[in-house]
Amino acid sequence: MCGIVGYNGKKKAVDILLDSLSKLEYRGYDSAGIAIRDKEIEVYKAKGKLANLKEKLEKKDLKGTIGIGHTRWATHGEPSENNAHPHTSNDGSITLVHNGIIENYQELIQKLEKHDYKFYSETDTEVLANIIDYYYKKYKMGPIDAINRTMVRVRGSYAIAVMFEEHPDEIWVARKDSPMIIGQNEDGTYLASDVPAILKYTNQVYYIDNLEAACLKKDQVTFYDLNGDTIEKELTTIKWNAEAAEKEGYEHFMLKEIFEQPDVIKKTINYYIQNNKIDLSKSGITKDVLKSFKEIYIIACGSAYHVGINAQYIFEELARIPVRVEIASEFRYRHPILDKKGLAIIISQSGETADSLAALREAKKQGVKTLAIINVVGSSIAREADYVLYTIAGPEIAVATTKAFSAQLIVSYILAIEMAHIRRKINAKLNLELIKEIQTLPDKVQYILDNLTHSIQKISSEFSYVHDAFYIGRNLDYAISLEGSLKLKEVSYIHSEAYAAGELKHGTISLIEDKTLVIGVITQEEVYEKTISNLVEVKSRGAFIITVSSDNLDVDKVSDYSIKIPETNKYFYPSLTVIPLQLLGYYITIARGLDVDKPRNLAKSVTVE
Ligand code: M6R
């Protein structure tokens, strides 16, 4: 949720901190702050977007070369300057930024109040600054001792960066269940919640594990375990390039990422398919292991959950294996019954979503093998899963996912085809046909972008005023409607819902009135006539209907506006239908004059429950 950054080196810290925070604004943007040390540690904060903090700092000449920064997505305490990070201990000797949630902060406040500590904010973070201060002064054994005692005492999730007044050349960090990476180059050492924040400066990073701490000096990073013993770590080279985290001439990251999809799909396909053969060995999974599973549990949140719903249709029909799709935040609390011969598939762009990570741990606890479909290399879920299939989407910055979603769909198709093949549910001919067809998808997506964007932009401006929208379809057309609907509502704030077209009559149709916007997705031939009938039902009640349909299907009699996409195999249509749906979400939002990359109340990585 929140984003944290830090720099200790030869250059002016303020420029690097603000630049890095601008790359993390997608994680939270209701306030921001930095602490810079020149002779003394000075803290600057502002409510609202990072631009407000930048404005505040414009006339200051901050020379310090060491500092930490934060962009906030409020959990405890309203968005305000007072609640913004960095937070300081009572006497100002500890300054700290935090991403995560401290669950027992009330209990810790009570403990500290007995020792005369006072609290100025409503946050759970301020307690961290004071408890570190308390242990630091009580045991007088230095920063690592104070941090480790704090880690043992607090419950919750955190990635923290701490500056101690008495250690002017050091930044101390620690983490548990919240993301953090540490970078290094000849100019200094860096810390951030996510790779894009520091990619411009270095692609050499260390991964810090749960309940580990580190000390960042200008030219050296030392890692410690919970006993205070040092740990050796290797630098990893990140393969993403720095431009991938910039807008590169596009007005918004969301639009850039929509247009990157042909390339992302191609890269993801080429990563797993060579010479018309699927090879999943990079994930560590063997054909025998893949064959051994009796059922599949797909667990994810938001759009990644929608990938799971799409995958369910394909896995069950193609590979004839039972699939359950679960919302990660519900999964572990309903005490699920899992078969030890099952496979839990966790889908996540960030690899840091708290509920998905907890679901992975629940599955492992029950002795079930886990496979993660992940975009961010080295993320928590990737590191804890038994097997990982990476999506090759590059950094995704816009809060609303587009290219990572498309890459996840591709990986799920490839996995379904391979499982169907290994389980002998499809013959060699169909296997080859599917593999060949999947490789045509990048060009078909490119065709849609090249030929339909302009007209979708036009129709979007006509619908920017609507209050409600309904997305309907059957089978995979329903599955992708869920994503289309989320794409519209999360960025445009228009109320929208997705329904299985056959379900409308069971209540929702009463909401349809004159000019209600209904988006019908129609690609699945088996259910084509039934969906058309459902659209006729809403049209006769006054709905305005936009259809997104495959070229071969006649939708003229129901469409007020029709978007035609190229033909493909029935299993792969979601990759094509989602493109116009993403464009509709994007352009309707632009027509409403909203910030499409940073929708209100949302954060890209939901690292708290
Ligand atoms: O990083 P993850 O894929 O685990 O994130 C899951 C969801 O939070 C994410 O898909 C969310 O729904 C986005 N707002 C969708 O655009």
State the burial class of residue 493 (Cβ atoms within 10 Å of its Cβ: 0-12, 13-18, 19+).
middle
Q: Which of 45, 564, 598, 604 is catalytic?
A: 604
b/e burial code for range 261-294 (CB count within 10 A of at least 16 → b): bbbbbbbbbebbbeeeebebeebebeeeebeebe
Over residues 40-82, the pLDDT tens digits come to 999 999 998 899 999 999 989 999 999 999 998 777 778 788 8
What is the crossing angle of helices 261-272 and 441-462, to 10°? 150
Q: How confident is the model at residue 406 (pLDDT cuts 50, 70, 90)?
A: very high
Site to probe by mutation for ligand 1, drawn from 258, 401, 601 as the one with most ligand atoms within 8 Å of Cβ, is 401
CATH 3.40.50.10490-classified regions of the chain: 247-439, 449-596
2 counts as catalytic: yes
CATH 3.60.20.10-classified regions of the chain: 3-243
CA–CA separation, 187 and 172 (whole Å): 18
Show Cβ contacts of residue 163 under 8 Å, excluding neighbours closer than 6 positions. 35, 37, 41, 66, 67, 68, 94, 95, 96, 170, 171, 172
Phi, psi for 225 (deg, rounded to 5): -95, -175
Separation in Å, CA 87 to CA 195, 216, 222, 340:
24, 19, 24, 46
The predicted pLDDT at position 510 comes to 87
Residue 595 burial (CB count, 10 A): 14
The predicted pLDDT at position 241 comes to 78
b/e burial code for range 232-243 (CB count within 10 A of at least 16 → b): ebeeeebebeee
Over residues 182-195, the pLDDT tens digits come to 999 999 999 999 89
The predicted pLDDT at position 165 comes to 97
Q: Among the CATH numbers 3.30.70.260, 3.10.110.10, 2.120.10.30, 3.40.50.10490, which is that of 247-439?
A: 3.40.50.10490
The predicted pLDDT at position 539 comes to 94
The predicted pLDDT at position 26 comes to 72
Whether omega for the bond prior to residue 86 falls within 30 degrees of 0, making it cis, is yes
The predicted pLDDT at position 355 comes to 94
Q: What are the residues facing 99 on neighbouring strands?
A: 159
Mean of the pLDDT values across residues 550-569? Answer: 95
Q: At residue 609, does pLDDT exceed 80?
A: no
Q: How confident is the model at residue 376 (pLDDT cuts 50, 70, 90)?
A: very high
Q: At residue 546, does pLDDT exceed 80?
A: yes
How far is the centre of ligand 1, averaged over its atoms, from the C-alpha of 604 (Å)? Answer: 7
Q: What type of residue is 120?
A: Y
Nearest to 491 by CA among 186, 258, 158: 258
- Judged by DSSP in three states, 175 sits in strand
Q: How confident is the model at residue 115 (pLDDT cuts 50, 70, 90)?
A: very high
Atom index in ligand 1 nearest the CA of residue 303 equals: 10
The predicted pLDDT at position 598 comes to 87
Give the predicted TM-score (pTM) of the model: 0.85
Atom index in ligand 1 nearest the CA of residue 404 equals: 3
Cβ atoms of residues 449 and 258 within 8 Å: yes
Structure tokens at 553: 């299907």
Q: How confident is the model at residue 600 (pLDDT cuts 50, 70, 90)?
A: confident
Cβ atoms of residues 519 and 577 within 8 Å: no
Q: How confident is the model at residue 391 (pLDDT cuts 50, 70, 90)?
A: very high
How far is the centre of ligand 1, averaged over its atoms, from the C-alpha of 419 (Å)? Answer: 26
The predicted pLDDT at position 108 comes to 94
215 counts as catalytic: no
Structure tokens at 130: 């004071």
How far is the centre of ligand 1, averaged over its atoms, from the C-alpha of 122 (Å)? Answer: 28
Given CATH 3.60.20.10, say whether it is the number of domain 3-243: yes
Site to probe by mutation for ligand 1, drawn from 380, 388, 606, 608 as the one with most ligand atoms within 8 Å of Cβ, is 606
b/e burial code for range 31-61 (CB count within 10 A of at least 16 → b): bbbbbbbeeebebbbbbebbeebeeebeeee
Among protein residues, the one with the nearest Cα to ligand 1's atom 16 is 400
Counting every residue written for the chain, the total comes to 609
Over residues 70-114, the pLDDT tens digits come to 998 777 778 788 889 999 999 999 999 999 989 999 999 999 999
E-state strands within 73-155: 87-88, 94-102
CA–CA separation, 27 and 44 (whole Å): 20
Site to probe by mutation for ligand 1, drawn from 73, 349, 408 as the one with most ligand atoms within 8 Å of Cβ, is 349
The predicted pLDDT at position 364 comes to 97
Q: At residue 342, does pLDDT exceed 90?
A: yes
Looking at per-residue pLDDT, the higher value among 16 and 243 belongs to: 16
- Topology of the domain comprising 449-596: Rossmann fold (3.40.50)
Supply angle C-alpha 233, 234, 238, rounded to 5.
Answer: 130
Among protein residues, the one with the nearest Cα to ligand 1's atom 11 is 302
Over residues 238-294, the pLDDT tens digits come to 988 777 777 888 999 999 999 999 999 999 999 999 999 999 999 999 999 999 999
Across the chain, what does the average pLDDT equal?
94
Ligand 1-lining residues (CB < 6 angstroms): 301-304, 348-350, 353, 356, 399-401, 490, 602, 605-606
The predicted pLDDT at position 248 comes to 80
Separation in Å, CA 337 to CA 129, 157, 341, 368, 370:
41, 27, 12, 11, 15
